[in-house]
Amino acid sequence: MKKILIVDDSAALRTSVEFTLSEQGYDVLQAEDGSKGLAVLTGMAGKESELGMIISDINMPNMDGISFIKEVKKTAFKFTPILVLTTESQDSKKMEGKEAGASGWLVKPFKPEQLMAVVSKFLK
């Protein structure tokens, strides 16, 4: 089963997403912001095939989600799908995310089955 990295500054949200994903057998990694997310990816160097996808928030301290996505696209993980999970629903933000390299967009609050439908689409 592939690993999934969750990058979000809300510990409660990371725990909720991890619970939903681990119930389905996924191995979950966590980071509280974009810079810590990049550190997790650096630690996985050479194991790119183990990471199935990244789920990232947009509004975070230190490094926001858009900057994080742009940085991921410069690494060996550039082909890893990135799902944005955020409270942001404006089309301008979605376009910014898409231009940065986001593969999908899900607005919080979400239902576990919505999240799993998106995850299973990316990790067929």
pLDDT for 105-114, tens place per residue?
999 998 999 9
Provide the whole-model pTM: 0.96
> From residue 75, how far is each of 22, 68, 95, 114 by CA, in Å?
26, 11, 22, 29
Per-residue pLDDT at 124? 79
Question: Which residue type is seen at 104?
Answer: G
Average pLDDT over residues 13-20: 96
- How many domains does the chain fold into? 1
- Is residue 1 predicted with pLDDT exceeding 80? no
When the pLDDT of each residue in the chain is averaged and rounded to a whole number, the result is 96
Domain extent for 40: 3-122
Provide, rounded to the nearest whole percent, the portion of the chain with pLDDT above 70: 100
Average pLDDT over residues 58-74: 97
Per-residue pLDDT at 31? 98
CATH number at residue 108: 3.40.50.2300
Residues present in the chain in total:
124
Residue 87, token pair as written in the block: 């409270």
- Is residue 6 predicted with pLDDT exceeding 80? yes
Report how far residue 26's alpha carbon sits from residue 44's, in angstroms, rounded to the nearest whole number. Answer: 17
- Is residue 40 predicted with pLDDT exceeding 80? yes
Provide, rounded to the nearest whole percent, the portion of the chain with pLDDT above 90: 96
In 33-48, which positions are buried (b, 16+ CB within 10 angstroms) versus exposed (e)?
bbbbbbebbeebeeee
